[in-house]
Amino acid sequence: MTDGRPLKVALLGCGVVGSQVARLVTTHAADLAARVGAPVELAGVAVRRPGRLREGVLSELITTDAQGLVSRSDIDVVVEVIGGIEPARSLISTAFENGASVVTANKALLAEDGPSLYAAADKYGADLYFEAAVAGAIPLLRPLRESLAGDSVNRVLGIVNGTTNFILDRMDTSGAGYYEALEEATALGYAEADPTADVEGFDAAAKAAILAGIAFHTRVRLDDVHREGITEVTASDIASARRMGCTVKLLAICERAADGRSVTARVHPAMIPLTHPLASVREAYNAVFVEADSAGSLMFYGQGAGGVPTASAILGDLVAACRNKVSGARGPGESAYTMLPVSPMGDVVTRFHISLDVADKPGVLSQVAAVFADHGVSIDTVRQQGKDGEASLVVVTHRAPDAALTATVETLRGLDTVRGVASIMRVEGE
Ligand SMILES: NC(=O)C1=CN([C@@H]2O[C@H](COP(=O)(O)OP(=O)(O)OC[C@H]3O[C@@H](n4cnc5c(N)ncnc54)[C@H](O)[C@@H]3O)[C@@H](O)[C@H]2O)C=CC1
Ligand SMILES: N[C@@H](CC=O)C(=O)O
Ligand code: NA
């Protein structure tokens, strides 16, 4: 309980997201005070480059001593928007030790060390909130943790990385090149400090780990998530998807097995039909479907990246943490009682689109078809296009285990008549 005294907030990091948090805390001060029941004040802003002009932030609040700031005994809530593992982890730890609650957008840290952070929050009677860490502005974690706490979630599927969605969208709709689109996404503040995290799927995989943990009341770490990024998606894959009435999206898919005894979490590009709602998710927008026993299918949609939308999610968490300080209550802690094992990717069953370069001569098609049959992978459609003694063969399969498809491709690569495997992509959303 705080007896109406002002609540003091320490902001760590004043970049794309942090600068917007600072602006909103200041410009919305009156509304925040009314909603919390006490004034909410910025008590310090830790930065790396103090000389930079930071509009709207009083210069006396700026410090380069982040450790000193989180060690202050008068701080009620620490907002961490530095990113990365260290020093963010140590700073959050110190914040908890000093009784402060923590609001963070740091999915990388949560996917690596979430359980330790929850444990530290518990030990010191503080709150840990991180709505901004998954799907930016979209209220998704709070609905999963609170609104659906009485239901049983079986599947979470969606687009959770704005940068890669922006790139794929630009490549598909305006024919932009990969690098040009990445540069634009970076300039708009969507990409991570190192955009490899986005394009190689690490960011989406961290979000998938967080989502799977919360949805299935278990623990899933970044290393448990099968991860493929978009760096190998070519203009020809996108054109091929178009010919099938599909588009290519980077999806995060978390599922609980039908027998309820294990879970899977994966991130990879996939072809989805143009008629699927995810196909119309443009630019840096995100959309996530949640399927639950009683609620049925729910869809969450909105801005998944960018300074202002992300700051909205942080401010929501800040209000929750401050309200708890005022009333002496606590927000939800970790719920990981199921401790379900994570199954390997080989067990996951999906459809595949495989593009092969083959010799254009009689018998090749039946030879290729026999390899699929030998591995128990059933073919749905085949399209062949000849070009100067060579041909391109596009095979779309029925649903098959990932391990069976991997073995099929391995055998195909060994055939003399198969010159190369141009691309393999999963097909989802049908
Ligand atoms: N940009 C976005 O759209 C979103 C970002 N996030 C997450 O929010 C966090 C921040 O992201 P951005 O603001 O985009 O990154 P950013 O790189 O623009 O900002 C981070 C700031 O922290 C500062 N910093 C680094 N080390 C520091 C230290 N030791 N002490 C004080 N300041 C330090 C940097 O100088 C930089 O200004 C990351 O965890 C990111 O994953 C989450 C959702 C969306
Ligand atoms: N780099 C991330 C930012 C938000 O989480 C993204 O592009 O989605
Ligand atoms: Na969110």
The pLDDT, as a whole number, for residue 128 is 98
Does the pLDDT of residue 85 top 90, yes or no? yes
For ligand 1, is residue 135 a contact (CB within 6 Å)?
no
Does the pLDDT of residue 204 top 80, yes or no? yes
Ligand 2 pocket test: pick from 110, 141, 163 the residue with the most ligand atoms within 8 Å of its Cβ.
Answer: 163
Catalytic residue, chosen from 207, 249, 361, 387, is 207
Average pLDDT over residues 258-281: 97
Residue with CA nearest ligand 2 atom 1? 191
Distance 210 CA to ligand 3 centre (A): 11
The pLDDT, as a whole number, for residue 344 is 97
Residues 109-124 have pLDDT tens digits of 999 999 999 999 999 9
The pLDDT, as a whole number, for residue 52 is 85
In the structure, ligand 3 is a single-atom ion and the residues with CB under 5 Å from it are 131, 135, 138, 140, 313
Domains of the chain: 7-136+307-327 (3.40.50.720), 141-303 (3.30.360.10), 345-427 (3.30.70.260)
Residues 167-197 have pLDDT tens digits of 999 999 998 999 999 999 999 999 999 999 9
The pLDDT, as a whole number, for residue 51 is 86
Strand order in the sheet with 40-46: 62-63, 40-46, 7-12, 77-80, 101-104, 128-129
Answer with the residue of higher pLDDT: 87 or 55: 87
Neighbours of 242 (CB within 10 A): 14
The pLDDT, as a whole number, for residue 152 is 98
Average pLDDT over residues 49-68: 92
Does the pLDDT of residue 2 top 90, yes or no? no
Q: What is the ipTM of this complex?
A: 0.99
Ligand 2 pocket test: pick from 170, 186, 203 the residue with the most ligand atoms within 8 Å of its Cβ.
Answer: 203
Q: Ligand 2 pocket by C-beta < 6 Å: which residues?
A: 136, 161-163, 190-192, 198, 203, 304-305
Answer with the residue of higher pLDDT: 53 or 234: 234
Ligand positioned closest to the Cα atom of 188: 1
List beta partners, residue 78.
10, 102
The pLDDT, as a whole number, for residue 55 is 83
Does the pLDDT of residue 267 top 90, yes or no? yes
What is the rounded CA–CA span in Å between residue 224 and residue 42? 38
Instruction: Report the chain's C-alpha Rg in angstroms.
Output: 24
Question: What are the backbone angles phi and psi of residue 130, rounded to the nearest 5°?
Answer: -155, 40
Residues 94-109 have pLDDT tens digits of 999 999 999 999 999 9
Among residues 29, 26, 8, which one has the least CA distance to residue 18?
26
Distance 18 CA to ligand 3 centre (A): 16
Among residues 321, 316, 319, which one has the least CA distance to residue 126?
321
Does the pLDDT of residue 39 top 80, yes or no? yes
pTM, rounded to two decimals: 0.97
| 249 in catalytic set | no
Q: Give the residue ranges of the annotated binding site.
A: 12-19, 107, 192
Ligand positioned closest to the Cα atom of 83: 1
For ligand 1, is residue 305 a contact (CB within 6 Å)?
yes
Ligand positioned closest to the Cα atom of 12: 1
Atom number, ligand 2, closest to the C-alpha of residue 164? 7
Q: Are strands 7-12 and 40-46 parallel, antiparallel or unpaired?
A: parallel
Query: Mean of the per-residue pLDDT values for the chain?
Result: 96
The pLDDT, as a whole number, for residue 132 is 98
Atom number, ligand 1, closest to the C-alpha of residue 304? 44
Residue 87: asked if its preceding bond is cis (omega within 30°), the reply is: yes
The pLDDT, as a whole number, for residue 157 is 98
Distance 313 CA to ligand 3 centre (A): 6
